[in-house]
Amino acid sequence: MVEIRSIGVMGAGQMGSGIAHVCALAGLDVGLYDIARDRLEACLNVVSANLGRQVASKKITEEQRREALSRIKLLTDLEGFSDTDLVIEAVTENETIKRKALSQLCPELKPGAMIGTNTSSVSITRLAASTDRPERFIGIHFMNPVPVMQLVELVRGIATEDETFEAARNFPAFMVNRILLPMINEAIYVLYEGVGTVDSIDTAMRLGANHPMGPLQLADFIGLDTCLSIMQVLHDGLADSKYRPCPLLVKYVEAGWLGRKTQRGFYDYRGATPIPTR
């Protein structure tokens, strides 16, 4: 059995920060890579603040917070992964960008190193085929916010070895998004068709289905570009018109209103409280 002691995280975005957070807290050495130094520093601040929330609610101690932070090394050079056991790719949810990132990563890795991808929709078999080690490649899909959510989906490609799968499982199916994203897309159709407002749709699902967030609030939280990408993959891959991305979702993405990360999506986050944009 391969033991994973060191982890690399490629991409210091929303998911990268969460993955680095939980891995460092679990006692693993973490290398966090991004091209931009300022993004790495911002990401470490996010991890620090989120660890702080866990200290405040007594889930961890201040000592654990400090130790976790000290285990995260910031890297702007992929050579920093030369001795890493498992590198998890968490760059933008776009197949071309992911393939490019993987092709840059592979030559820097030691021979037995595993690669995980946090994709939530792109085919693992296809991404694996673009690497030099398809048998050591696996989908490790975290949910946002990573430190809070209890599920991690492990997804095998056609070439993934049992040993790789077991190693990934011991280390803590795209089923969730297949169900979740069509629900979000349907909520956007309900808005698009004028059946409900942003507020009434979210309130209905919070109160009527006991969801912690309404679907439009959740869409903003995930990122509308990511939601659109996932719907496109479902639509293209499964060739079923029920996955057709709602035109209103496309419009929001075209406008650059991508949700919380750009301060505007189905809600406007620029003031003290989020205000529905429709």
Beta-carbon contacts of 278 under 8 Å, excluding residues fewer than 6 positions away, are 191, 197, 198, 266
Rg (CA), the chain: 19
Near ligand 3HC in 235-254, by CB under 6 A: none
Of 12, 20, 33, 50, the one binding ligand 3HC (CB under 6 A) is 50
CB closer to ligand 3HC, 1 vs 272: 272
Give the CA diameter of the chain: 56
Residues assigned a catalytic role: 120, 141, 153, 177
Residues in the chain: 278
Distance CA 211, CA 236 (A): 29
Stretch that binds ligand 3HC, among 30-38, 70-78, 141-149, 260-268 (CB under 6 A): 141-149
Q: CB atoms < 10 A from the CB of 3, how many? A: 8
Q: What angle do CA 238, 212, 65 make, to 5 degrees?
A: 100
Distance CA 39, CA 147 (A): 20
Distance of alpha carbon 269 from the chain centroid: 21
Cβ of residue 111: shortest distance to ligand 3HC, in angstroms?
A: 30
Cβ of residue 174: shortest distance to ligand 3HC, in angstroms?
A: 9
Strand partners, 72: 30
Cβ of residue 180: shortest distance to ligand 3HC, in angstroms?
A: 6
Of 144, 197, 200, 262, the one binding ligand 3HC (CB under 6 A) is 144
The reply to whether 218 sits near ligand 3HC by the rule CB under 6 A is yes
The reply to whether 147 sits near ligand 3HC by the rule CB under 6 A is yes
Positions in the binding site for ligand 3HC (CB under 6 A): 50, 53-54, 57, 120, 143-145, 147-149, 177, 180, 212-213, 218, 222, 226
